[in-house]
């Protein structure tokens, strides 16, 4: 569940937020332990303008500990052709986000980008503060032709969900010019999309925490159940366990077999967004725990606000090259290089705060989610591959490139060798977070002049009619009537973890497109 606290409504702007509601504790728990995002109260002075307010919005992850537990094991999400309830057998259940997909690796077909817009969007800040923001109906699919508006993912890839909060205005509920927005990223929500669980530990965690899987609980209940199904009075070893034990036996019996062999086979399917296959970063036989980076282990919500300087729009940044280009030329040894300190990446002016939308777009390839950002420049727009509400035109995107491989953790279920999961870049929580604030984000602001440069404002996609697959509901009449209320849209996106996009800002959303 997710809750934004800190959004409030006022005819003059924003007033001090209402105290945290007590309904959070009593709110119905999501299917799998009630994970989600919750917010903390925003301290927004009365009369503060929207751009100042939105950067102060704080969103926290609900059931963070549970998320971390999964994250440390290497979260996996089941995706099916028909669409499985969300990210995570529940971890994302009760989250209503907008998911958009970054374009897959070079060798992969472009994915239809999709954002999942919270069904309640747009709604006032008071509405979002009232309760946990749930993304319950979000579903994941691997069906590229999915007509239901589910989030389309590639199997065996790692994704990083992102939450976008977009300020709407009185005209079209989502604003036109100067629409503020912010993006929240919770590293512990990253996951690998799979069609069947690869990690037995994840399976067990899901079973333990998901009420719907209660039937599989107990001391290896699944095995007991199998025994019952086979009319046996003794438990039989399940297939996954048998496979795991078999491989283990084989490995122990054949010392000449590299323990990494199986892992390599598994990992060759895990790709970063840049299309580079994962490589091993650990020495042979070395088991690197997933939580090697203490910064990530306690990453919390990365939220940091930055403002882009107009004068920096055309800086020739060293990181301006295409992410795809960069990755394609990267040799294997690249993955053994140490990444630049995360705080340097994120806080270096040349890296994040002065990156133009166009440049940022380049970092992430042609990610549908940020495809529209080029509209703020006079450069030709990148190709769009979204069929929903995918493009957030004013979004200035920032990319944290993890060009190095990161440790994987063992997949006990199927892989007995040391496998390594792609990871978020190491995060220095001490240096990258504002004092007293565990949040991290990037804030970007587009000037009025820039907004004007984009040409005549067009109506927001909602006015052009969303495809029926879009899981949105029209704003309630009372919301439309409340002309002076600030309306917020909550959406969620997914990005390939190798190129995390942290963006927020203020500008038009006129180029959001249905694709």
Partner DNA sequence: TCTACTTACACGTTTGAATGGT
Partner DNA sequence: AACCATTCAAACGTGTAAGTAG
248 touching DNA, by CB under 7 A: no
Q: Cβ of 301: how many Cβ atoms within 10 Å?
A: 26
Lookup: tokens for 428: 């220095």
Instruction: Decide if 459 contacts 172 (C-beta within 8 A).
Output: yes
Question: Which region, judged by CB under 7 A, interacts with DNA, from 24-32, 51-59, 339-347, 497-505?
Answer: 24-32
Instruction: Decide if 326 contacts 403 (C-beta within 8 A).
Output: yes
106 touching DNA, by CB under 7 A: no
CA dihedral 452, 453, 455, 459 (to 10 degrees): -50
Between 235 and 339, CB nearer to DNA: 235
Lookup: tokens for 69: 């537990």
User: Which string of x and - marks every residue 386-425 that binds DNA (by CB under 7 A)?
Assistant: ----------------------------x-----------
Choose which of 23, 81, 459, 481 interacts with DNA (CB under 7 A): 81
Q: List CB contacts of 217: < 8 A, sequence separation 6 or more.
A: 207, 208
H-only helix segments in 74-162: 125-130
Question: Which region, judged by CB under 7 A, interacts with DNA, from 75-83, 288-296, 324-332, 481-489?
Answer: 75-83
Lookup: tokens for 404: 């190095």
450-487: string of b/e by CB count within 10 Å (b at 16+)? Answer: bbeebeebbebbbeeebeeebbbeebeeebeebeebbb
**Which residues from 268-287 bind DNA, rule CB under 7 A?**
269
Burial of 137 (0-12, 13-18, 19+ CB in 10 A): middle
211 touching DNA, by CB under 7 A: yes
82 touching DNA, by CB under 7 A: yes
Instruction: Decide if 412 contacts 428 (C-beta within 8 A).
Output: no
203 touching DNA, by CB under 7 A: yes
Helix (H) or strand (E) holding 163: strand 157-168
Choose which of 57, 61, 86, 180 interacts with DNA (CB under 7 A): 86
Question: Which region, judged by CB under 7 A, interacts with DNA, from 78-86, 178-186, 302-310, 324-332?
Answer: 78-86
258 touching DNA, by CB under 7 A: no
User: What distance, in Å, lies between the first and last C-alpha atoms of the chain?
Assistant: 29
Choose which of 142, 172, 441, 444 interacts with DNA (CB under 7 A): 142
Choose which of 58, 64, 84, 118 interacts with DNA (CB under 7 A): 84
513 touching DNA, by CB under 7 A: no
Cα Dmax for the chain:
76
Question: Which region, judged by CB under 7 A, interacts with DNA, from 28-36, 252-260, 361-369, 440-448?
Answer: 28-36
70 touching DNA, by CB under 7 A: no
Q: List CB contacts of 472: < 8 A, sequence separation 6 or more.
A: 117, 119, 121, 389, 462, 466
Q: Cβ of 287: how many Cβ atoms within 10 Å?
A: 15
H-only helix segments in 2-96: 23-26, 50-56, 64-73
473 touching DNA, by CB under 7 A: no
Between 38 and 85, CB nearer to DNA: 85
User: Which string of x and - marks every residue 328-347 that binds DNA (by CB under 7 A)?
Assistant: --------------------
Question: Which region, judged by CB under 7 A, interacts with DNA, from 98-106, 182-190, 261-269, 386-394?
Answer: 261-269
Q: Which residues bind DNA (CB under 7 A)?
A: 28-29, 31-32, 78, 80-82, 84-86, 89-90, 93, 137, 142-143, 155-156, 194-198, 203, 206-207, 210-216, 222-223, 225-226, 228-229, 238-240, 262, 265-266, 269, 414
């Amino acid at each position: 569940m997710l809750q934004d606290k800190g959004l409030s409504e006022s005819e003059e702007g924003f007033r001090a937020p209402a105290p945290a509601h007590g309904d959070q504790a009593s709110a119905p728990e999501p299917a799998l332990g009630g994970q989600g995002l919750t917010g903390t109260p925003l301290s927004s002075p009365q009369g503060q303008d929207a751009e100042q307010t939105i950067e102060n919005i704080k969103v926290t992850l609900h059931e963070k500990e549970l998320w971390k537990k999964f994250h440390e094991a290497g979260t996996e999400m089941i995706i099916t052709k028909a669409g499985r309830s969300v990210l995570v057998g529940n971890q994302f259940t009760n989250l209503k986000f907008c998911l958009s997909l970054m374009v897959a690796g070079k060798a992969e077909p472009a994915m239809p980008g999709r954002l999942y817009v919270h069904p309640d969007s747009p709604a006032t800040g008071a509405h979002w503060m009232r309760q946990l923001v749930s993304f319950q109906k979000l579903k994941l699919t691997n069906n590229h032709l999915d007509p239901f508006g589910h989030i389309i993912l590639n199997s065996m890839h790692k994704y990083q969900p992102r939450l976008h909060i977009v300020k709407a205005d009185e005209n079209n509920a989502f604003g036109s010019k100067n629409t503020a927005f912010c993006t929240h990223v919770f590293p512990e929500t990253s996951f690998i999309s799979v069609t069947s669980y690869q990690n037995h530990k994840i399976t067990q965690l899901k079973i333990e925490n998901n009420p719907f899987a209660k039937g599989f609980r107990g001391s290896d209940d699944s095995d007991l159940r199998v025994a019952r199904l086979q009319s046996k009075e003794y438990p039989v070893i399940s297939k996954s366990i048998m496979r795991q034990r078999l491989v283990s036996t084989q490995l122990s019996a054949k010392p000449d077999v590299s323990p990494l062999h199986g892992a390599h086979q598994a990992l060759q399917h895990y790709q970063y967004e840049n299309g580079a296959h994962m490589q091993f970063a650990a020495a042979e036989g070395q088991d690197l725990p997933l939580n090697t980076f203490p910064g990530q282990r306690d990453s919390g919500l990365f939220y940091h606000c930055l403002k882009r300087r107009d004068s920096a729009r055309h800086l020739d940044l060293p990181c301006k090259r295409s992410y795809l280009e960069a990755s394609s030329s990267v040799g294997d040894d690249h993955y053994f290089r140490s990444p630049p300190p995360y705080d340097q990446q994120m806080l270096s002016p040349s890296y994040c705060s002065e990156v133009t939308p166009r440049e940022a777009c380049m970092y992430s390839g042609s990610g549908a989610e940020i495809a529209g950002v080029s509209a703020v420049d006079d450069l030709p727009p990148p190709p769009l591959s979204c069929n929903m509400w995918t493009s957030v035109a004013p979004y200035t995107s920032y990319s944290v490139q993890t060009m190095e491989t990161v440790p994987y953790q063992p997949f006990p279920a199927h892989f007995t060798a040391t496998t390594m999961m792609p990871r978020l870049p190491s995060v220095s929580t001490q240096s990258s977070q504002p004092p007293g604030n565990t949040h991290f984000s990037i804030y970007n602001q587009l000037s009025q002049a820039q907004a004007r440069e984009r040409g005549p404002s067009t109506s927001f996609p909602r006015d052009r009619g969303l495809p029926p697959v879009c899981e949105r509901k029209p704003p309630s009449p009372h919301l439309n009537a409340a002309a002076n209320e600030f309306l917020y849209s909550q959406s969620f996106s997914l990005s390939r973890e190798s190129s995390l996009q942290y963006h927020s800002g203020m500008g038009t959303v006129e180029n959001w497109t249905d694709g």
